[in-house]
Structure 1
Amino acid sequence: MVKKKIHPTIKSKLHPRNKNRERYEFKQLIAVCPELNEFVRENPYGDESIDFSDAKAVKILNTAILKSHYGLGYWDIPANYLCPPIPGRADYIHYAADILSNCNAGKIPTGSSINCLDVGVGANCIYPIIGSMEYGWNFVGADIDPTAIDSATRIVNQNPALTERVTLRLQANPKNIFTGIIQSNERFDLTVCNPPFHASAAEAQAGTLRKLSKLNTQKAKSPKLNFGGQSNELWCEGGEVAFLKTMIHESKQFAKTCSWFTSLVSKSERLPLIYKFLKQIDATEVQTISMGQGNKVSRIIAWTFLSKVEQKEWIQRWK
């Protein structure tokens, strides 16, 4: 056995409010999800862990986390759909809450007065779950995939805490982002999005090989995503930059309909082009928020068309 590693008790790179900052307590997780016990093994360093290259093990771990930390009674996804790393997804929601708090004298707005739109909710419904359970926000989850919408609907319907807070909508036109989803009488305080990062299936597979190589697994010879993912979840024509260009330019049509638009951005070298797009549409304020999880660094891009005065007027609706 390799010499046991000394691990910090807190994952300091995660947001201070993230419930996943401490190392996994597998006894606690197994207590709420006994199926996890089958996948927990002692790693070469003498620590309890799972094989993170095993898609089934990762899904069961997610199920246990959602039951233990967020009170879900049911969570599942179809085979080969994206199984998100929950700590990173939770960080996004907490930093998004900070964006709203900055407009509200440092106080995070909670409860059903806050309406959010998740662009690409996926079969896992992870952002509405975390946002609803942590802050009581309402969500509309949109996706172009009927199977993903069916799966997310099943999750919502089988968790009473979500049924009054989460609505799912199918985007009928895959070329649109907000059009066809945001209705004429609706106002959103926040949009969130985990865009398809890659420009092709080959690029997505190359990313999988790199990930598996870092996990030091022989499975890299026959790649299969440990976190799954359908083509529309992983890649689109033109990749992340093209997707965000469409999103940014379409957001202008809803300038007074939404307070803050946000999205993940996977690579920092893509930011200059994104800033250029935001300048073209005359966004009044742009924020870039860095996030860290282990050795991985990502960031959130956020923008609004509201002036400071309009932002103050907007938050009066929360009172």
Structure 2
Amino acid sequence: MSVNKKEQLKTRLHPRNRNREPYDLNALIKTTPTLEGYVKPNKSGLPSIDFSSPIAVKLLNKALLSYYYGIKYWEFPDENLCPPIPGRADYIHYMADVLMESNFGRLPIGNAITCLDLGVGASCIYPIIGVVEYDWNFIGSDIDAKSIASAQKISSANISLKNKIDLRLQKSPKAFFQDILAPTELIDITVCNPPFHASLDDAQKGSRRKVKNLSGKKLSIPVLNFSGVKSELVYAGGELKFIQNMIWESRKYGKKCYWFSTLVSKQSNLRSIDNLLIKVSAKEVKTIPMGTGNKATRIVAWTFLSKAEQKEWRTVRWK
């Protein structure tokens, strides 16, 4: 049941991404036997996963975490967002590159780096990948207490993650860094996967389009193939408003964090984001393109530290 090895590498993924080669379904099924029931021939007659099925998608990503990252417990409620591992890993790798570029080509690893994941979610995915790949420390925040509890259970159940992830409930739904960071706390990078939709209706329409594209099925009641509760998918004003609000608040913490960052799914939002970063006097801004499968996205990262302040940061924290 192996995939045709002549298939090209997923060359759009980061060079250090463990998911670049075609999936070895035999190996994945050995780690997660239930996955076998969701494998079927694709249009080319090769074995593949039914990506229109939320259960199949979750089992595939569970198998990827087990096979490539050694994560043996990854359980969370089915209604929560199930992240696609390759794309989430790319984000972490590209932020590692940002740190490396800021450190004269040397990659800071281990306890020297603390990453804040805004909206860690029930799956705890960014901390998992960041700890396994680079041994960073993580703070994971979320406005949903159930998601924090789920992420804590995952963190506690896997030996490689113990004492590396500090999970914190954000009690102010409109805040990002406030009440999460202690007055003297310093953060090297932040990561965030913003809610994409402006309303639940938009989320449902998007799901219908996605399922139809994947399976050819037209659904009157959408089933989200990557699941996701409302707080994970919907924000008043959508992705752009969420990121704009984050940028405004990040100014207040500009001396407490080296690099802020966020995913930006919509290309059309970039101009407004860039203009706002100029308005708030960000000292340096990076836009990093990413792509998985047929989906193109990007990271926007910014810092408020001057060159002198960046040098001092590296000297004190990354020595």
TM-score, normalised on structure 1? 0.96
CA distance in 2, matches of 1:42, 1:202: 33
Quote the residue 1:318 is aligned against. 318
Report deviation, 1:5.
8.8
Quote the residue 2:129 is aligned against. 130
Report if aligned partners of 2:5, 2:22 keep a CA contact under 8 Å in 1: no
CA distance in 1, matches of 2:121, 2:263: 15
Quote the residue 2:236 is aligned against. 237
Report deviation, 1:47.
1.2
Report deviation, 1:9.
3.2
Q: Secondary structure at the match of 2:13?
A: coil
Q: 5+ unaligned residues in a row in structure 1: which ranges? A: none
Quote the residue 1:73 is aligned against. 72
Quote the residue 2:33 is aligned against. 34
Report deviation, 1:212.
1.1
Quote the residue 2:108 is aligned against. 109
Q: Is residue 87 of structure 1 aligned with residue 83 of structure 2? A: no
CA distance in 2, matches of 1:217, 1:168: 40
Q: Secondary structure at the match of 1:220?
A: coil
Quote the residue 2:20 is aligned against. 21
Quote the residue 2:175 is aligned against. 176
Stretches of 4+ moved more than 6 A in 1?
none
Report deviation, 1:220.
3.0
Quote the residue 1:263 is aligned against. 262
Report deviation, 1:230.
0.7
Report deviation, 1:6.
8.9
Report deviation, 1:7.
5.7
TM-score, normalised on structure 2? 0.96
Q: What is the RMSD of the two structures over their aligned residues, measured on CA atoms? A: 1.4
The residue identity in structure 1 corresponding to 2:24 is: E
Q: Secondary structure at the match of 2:133?
A: helix
Q: 5+ unaligned residues in a row in structure 2: which ranges? A: none
Q: Deviations over 1:145-179 (max 9, x none)?
A: 01111110110010111111101000000010000
Q: Secondary structure at the match of 1:82?
A: coil
Deviates more, 1:44-53 or 1:222-231: 44-53
Alignment of 1:195-274 (within 5 A): 195-218=194-217, 220-274=219-273
Report deviation, 1:233.
0.4
Q: Deviations over 1:226-267 (max 9, x none)?
A: 100011100111111111111001001101100000000011
Quote the residue 2:287 is aligned against. 288
Quote the residue 2:63 is aligned against. 64
Report deviation, 1:280.
1.6
Sequence identity percentage: 52
Report if aligned partners of 1:74, 1:155 keep a CA contact under 8 Å in 2: yes
Q: Secondary structure at the match of 2:122?
A: coil
CA distance in 2, matches of 1:232, 1:138: 25
